[in-house]
Amino acid sequence: MNIEQSVQAQLLAMQDLKYRDFQCRLMPTVPPETVIGVRTPALRKYAKAFAKTPEAAEFLKILPHPYYEENNLHGFLIESMKDYGQAVAALDAFLPYVDNWATCDLMRPRVFQKHLPELLADIRRWMASDHPYTVRFGIEMLMTFYLDEHFRPEYLDWVAAVESGEYYVNMMVAWCFATALAKQYAAALPYIEGRRLELWTHNKAIQKAIESYRVTDEQKAYLRTCKIPK
């Protein structure tokens, strides 16, 4: 039994069929036959133990993976890396194979927090990719690490400049601007008032902001007036 077969056997041993059915409904782009049905806490626990073994490094060299949970395991292993350059290299190898929003969004390497100046260049590179989930990942990293004390107004220019016909990219643009409206309202509002975003993304950003408890009632009332009729 090779490394991947061993990993698959471990994942199948944790299978929850009801959870698999639930997951499949949330991920319409993922073929159901590629989903085993492993709950995230169980997969994280397995990843934490597996990361300490020499087999983990070999597993990371095996791409593409046939199963959704193998991809998530791959992402969790990258998350645990303590060397910034190693994590970026692993992401560059893995991101082209990411084919769904869930795998994309679970990866938040902890080492990034210690390398924010270097991360900006990699974020711009990912956002310039022609692969939708690489773009989505880049936007998410900007949203995760740079909308608080490290915020600079031009970062919103980067996100507003993203042009894509991909639903899951535009959803991340909207999510990023909704979060910016919650955290950096004065800087984000001109993009809404100036209609800088594509119509669907503009309205979705407003919708998400209105749903946020971090946006005041007064701000929500004004944002409702900014919606563009379809």
Of the chain, the percentage scoring pLDDT greater than 70 comes to 100
What is residue 70's predicted lDDT score, i.e. its pLDDT?
A: 97
18-38: pLDDT as tens digits: 999 999 999 999 999 999 999
Contact status, residue 187 vs residue 151, Cβ threshold 8 Å = yes
Contact status, residue 134 vs residue 96, Cβ threshold 8 Å = yes
What is residue 46's predicted lDDT score, i.e. its pLDDT?
A: 97
Residue 230: pLDDT over 90 = no
Q: How confident is the model at residue 180 (pLDDT cuts 50, 70, 90)?
A: very high
CB within 8 A of 45, min separation 6: which ones? none
**Domains of the chain and any CATH numbers:** 1-114 (no CATH), 115-230 (1.25.40)
CB within 8 A of 184, min separation 6: which ones? 147, 151, 153, 156
47-57: pLDDT as tens digits: 999 999 999 99
Q: What is the mean pLDDT of residues 63-81?
A: 97
Picking from 43, 117, 116, the residue whose alpha carbon sits closest to that of residue 80 is 43
Picking from 129, 195, 192, 209, the residue whose alpha carbon sits closest to that of residue 164 is 129
CB within 8 A of 150, min separation 6: which ones? 116
117-175: pLDDT as tens digits: 999 999 999 999 999 999 999 999 999 999 999 999 999 999 999 999 999 999 999 99
